[in-house]
Amino acid sequence: MIKKNTYVLVKKTILNKEQRTAHIPEDTKCVDFIMKIKGNLTHDANIGEQVIIITETKRVIEGTLIEINPAYTHSFGEHVEEVMQMKDIILSEVEDISHD
């Protein structure tokens, strides 16, 4: 049992795949549009249950409880060699211009 006021992560479906616009890529159209949001539980609950949380900005959100004490993480994605090659080309061209 996860206690009231515990910091948690919930998810909520904003649009079902059937409700999504036709003007998006095929691989995007076939999945629900969901949001994940962090806040404090308003009552005791278990993972997978529908819960209500209060966010840092005092919004009240209902969603499915998916994680306890979620970490703040972010990423700019995996390494892409082509981006490194583009960087090298751009830097060499800028260097050539500055020497003219």
Rounded CA separation 35/23 (Å) = 20
Per-residue pLDDT reduced to its tens digit, 1-47: 999 999 999 999 999 999 999 899 988 999 999 999 999 999 999 99
pTM to 2 decimals? Answer: 0.72
Q: Which residues 6+ apart lie within 8 Å of 40 measured at CB? A: 5, 6, 7, 8, 53, 54
So where are the chain's domains? 7-73
> Quick check: 45 and 53 in contact, CB under 8 A?
no
Number of other CB atoms surrounding residue 2 within 10 Å: 17
**5 half-sphere exposure, CB direction, 13 A CA radius:** 0
Residue 26 pairs with which residues in a beta bridge?
A: none
Which pLDDT does position 98 carry in this prediction? 62
Rounded CA separation 4/84 (Å) = 48
